Amino acid sequence: MGQRVGVTLGDVAGLAGVSRATVSRAFTRPEMLNTETVERVRGVAERLGYVGNQAARALATGRFGNIAVIVPDIANPFFPPLVRTLQSVAEEAELAVFLGDSDESLEREAKLVTRLGSQVEGFVLASSRQSEELIRNLAHTRPVVLVNRDLDGIPRVLIDSSGGMTEAVMLLKNLNHRHLVSLAGPRDSWSDQQRRTTLAEASATTGLTVDIIEVGRPTYTAGRDAVTAITASGATAAIAFDDVVSQGVLAGLALRNISVPQDFSLIGCDDTLALLTTPALTSISAASAPAGRAAAHLLIKTLQSPTTPTAPRITIPTHLITRATTTQAP
């Protein structure tokens, strides 16, 4: 059976000469108690170094005081700022946060969710690759907030790249590009699908040709390796799934002595590498830190009023940030 872990409620009760219930109340409902009692109990607790046992509390109340955030790849620069603000907001609400990295794998994401499900109040799923069905099942069990995924009736915060994406296409058109390539990312990512759709619309409107090259997992290497296909396509400009991929493309282009932007124009997404590249990358903004904050607030709100009439939904618009990787078509 369970072994003593440390100082318990009972220990404090004994030394303070009160019942365990009183000790409990001294922490959770001090207003119910005589001020003096509260102080005495807290004093004893402090002296003993008493720290409440979360597991026991969770078992008794059904509340865990924990939330989980699941991301496909914490090493992708889009996510750390999101996780950072999320955790900061959670902390203010006295919530501890589990981090799950699904490694872009649907199965691992599912495993994480089940594993964590029994000890969290709710989930934030960022760029979830899960099937709609699984997410709905989960949301049926506990509050779920989605980031960059849109499912009717589930709270979510979306970074809507359509604005920036449309601006990107417009810019390239105005610069006389006629033929672009889109470096598409993970197929089961909502963001990727949204970008595909917007791109299709924009190309229809503008009459530009857009080839699609799938890079799959968005990495530096994937971008660099895509350059063969890019040059083969004959396009004069590319829009990449994210800045990490762009970074790779930039490197691959340099290897072939293709200069950016003179010979080729390039636009990234998420604006995570900001001024880190040379030339500085034209990119589509994506406020991941605010998205994390918003998601945290949404989740906390849902936790407080379980029966929300309609799911709160936040959409963060994007825009194109023109820097130095785009210019007139050669």
Structure tokens at 308: 């929300």
* 131 lies in the binding site for its own copies (CB under 8 A): no
Binding flag, residue 290, its own copies (CB under 8 A): no
Give one DSSP letter per residue of 36-87, joined into a string.
HHHHHHHHHHHHHT----HHHHHHHHS---EEEEEES-TTSTTHHHHHHHHH
Measured from the CB atom, the residue of 33 and 274 that comes closer to DNA is 33
Q: Using CA atoms, how far apart are residues 167 and 171, in angstroms rounded to an integer?
A: 6
Pick one of DNA, its own copies, none as the site partner of residue 203 (Cβ within 5 to 8 A by kind).
Answer: none
**Residue 52 binds to its own copies (criterion: CB under 8 A):** yes
CA distance linking residue 276 with residue 314, whole number of Å = 30
CB of 208 to its own copies, least distance (A): 30
**Residue 44 burial (10 A CB sphere; 0-12, 13-18, 19+):** buried
Query: Which residue shows structure tokens 């210019």?
Result: 327
Between 5 and 75, name the residue whose CB sits nearer to DNA.
5
Residue 70 binds to its own copies (criterion: CB under 8 A): no
* Beta-carbon contacts of residue 291 (< 8 Å; ≥ 6 apart): 82, 147, 148, 157, 159, 316
- Binding positions for its own copies, 82-121, rule CB under 8 A: 83-84, 87-88, 91, 94, 96-101, 103, 108, 111-112, 114-119
| Strand-pair partners of 106 | none
Name residue 313's beta-bridge partners: 156
Q: Which does 277 bind (CB under 5 to 8 A by kind): its own copies, DNA, none?
A: its own copies
Amino acid at the residue 70: I
Q: Please report whether residue 223 would count as binding its own copies according to CB under 8 A.
A: no
Selected from 61, 105, 205, 304, the binder of its own copies by CB under 8 A is 61
User: Would strands 156-160 and 313-317 be described as parallel, antiparallel, or unpaired?
Assistant: parallel
* Token pair of 3 as six digits: 């072994």
Segment near its own copies (CB under 8 A), from 38-46, 78-86, 209-217, 230-238? Answer: 78-86
- Choose from DNA, its own copies, none: what does 75 bind? Cβ within 5-8 Å by kind: its own copies
In the complex, minimum distance from the CB of residue 1 to DNA, in angstroms, rounded to a whole number: 4
Using CA atoms, how far apart are residues 148 and 142, in angstroms rounded to an integer? 19
Min dist. Cβ of residue 117 to DNA (A): 12
Q: Which amino acid makes up residue 169?
A: V
Pairing of strands 320-321, 282-285: antiparallel
The interface partner of residue 37, options being DNA, its own copies, none and the CB cut-off 5 to 8 Å by kind, is DNA
**How far is Cα 237 from Cα 115, in angstroms, rounded to an integer?**
44
Does 49 engage in binding with DNA (CB under 7 A)? no
Q: Does 60 bind its own copies (CB under 8 A)?
A: yes
Is position 233 an interface residue for DNA (rule: CB under 7 A)? no
Contact positions vs DNA (CB under 7 A): 1-5, 8-10, 17-22, 24-25, 27-29, 32-34, 36-37, 50, 52-53, 56-57, 59-61
Give the footprint of its own copies on this chain (CB under 8 A).
1-3, 5-6, 51-56, 58-62, 64, 66, 73-75, 77, 79-81, 83-84, 87-88, 91, 94, 96-101, 103, 108, 111-112, 114-119, 141, 247, 251, 273, 275-278
